[in-house]
Structure 1
Amino acid sequence: MAEPPNGLLIAAAVLAAVGGIIGAIGWGHWWSLLGWVLAGPLAIWFVARFVAVDTERKTATVYSRPGSTGVLWAVAIALVVIGIAVTALAVGFWVGRL
């Protein structure tokens, strides 16, 4: 029985949350760029891997998608968007002070 790779969504949510926190703590400093990398490209890569692997698993004979996957998807995407917004502002304030 095939199931969605929810671990990838959890990893994306954790990366986005940690990146957002790093960006908020490092507001206006060079290391807020690290938060942007975590919350942006890396978290988005994990979401993209989830979509690719989930699409592949849907071709299995038996595919079971738990109801929690939809909630997990919404939470992960929301955290990615918020993390990117916070870190982009933090990096912007750092670059603006150069």
Structure 2
Amino acid sequence: MAEKDPWDFSEFGAPRAGQSAESDLTTSDSGRDGGTGAGRSVRAADSGFDALSDLGTAHGPATGALAVAGPPLTLLGISAAAAVIGLLLAALLGALPALAVIGWVLAGPFAIGVLALYTTADTRRRAQPIYVAPNWLIAGYYACLAVCLVGVIVSAIRIALWVGRW
């Protein structure tokens, strides 16, 4: 009997033309049955999955057009506007305690909260296949954060001066 090629793995691959996906293979267990060559029937199953099948295609497995994602500039604008309004209220009209507190809330919790929403939405959008952001975005983000910080400090000083006069 002819020896089987040890490098022939054809029984483990996809079925060839004219061969069904599930076929009966006969193997010889010459070592186990005393060299009689009696074969046993083995049922081979092929899932049909080919991990390298999409390598040759230019478009890949995805269908449809890709959308271009960008940063949520509206949220950044709302945060910057709230910080500027809070700073102006505290700096110009902060002698009135109610306006100093309103300025602190606008420049602090509100503006920083909206900036946190911006960061969350921007992170989600950066995970998209195509993301395009303007060059000034990082500078705008840090400028908004700086205005928030200055607004909180100015309004906190105004509130402290008002409480100190009590």
Does the TM-score normalized on the shorter chain lie above 0.5?
Answer: yes
Match of 1:16 among 61, 74, 83: 83
One-letter code aligned to 1:71: A
- Tell me the residue number matched to 1:34: 102
Partner SS state of residue 67, structure 1: coil
8 Å contact from structure 1 (residues 10, 72) kept in 2: no
Which aligned segments of 4 or more residues in structure 1 are displaced greater than 2 angstroms?
25-29
CA distance in 2, matches of 1:10, 1:72: 9
1:70 aligns with 2:147: no
Q: Which has the larger radius of gyration?
A: 2
| One of 114, 120, 125 as aligned partner of 1:52 | 120
Please tell me whether the aligned partners of residues 19 and 38 of structure 1 are also in contact (alpha carbons under 8 angstroms): yes
Query: As a proportion of its length, which structure holds more helix?
Result: 1
Q: Distance in 1 between matches of 2:101 and 2:73?
A: 27
Distance 2:94 2:134 in 1: 38
By percentage of residues, which structure has more strand? 2
How many residues are matched? 98
Contact 1:28/1:92 (<8 A) preserved: no
**Cα distance in 2 for residues equivalent to 1:22 and 1:28:** 9
RMSD: 1.2
Structure 1 residue 29, shift from structure 2 partner: 2.7
* 1:85 partnered with 2:126: no
Percentage identity across paired residues of the two chains: 33
**TM-score under structure 1 length normalisation:** 0.92
Secondary structure of 2:82's aligned partner: helix
Deviation of residue 25 (structure 1)?
2.3
In the other structure, the counterpart of 2:92 is: 25
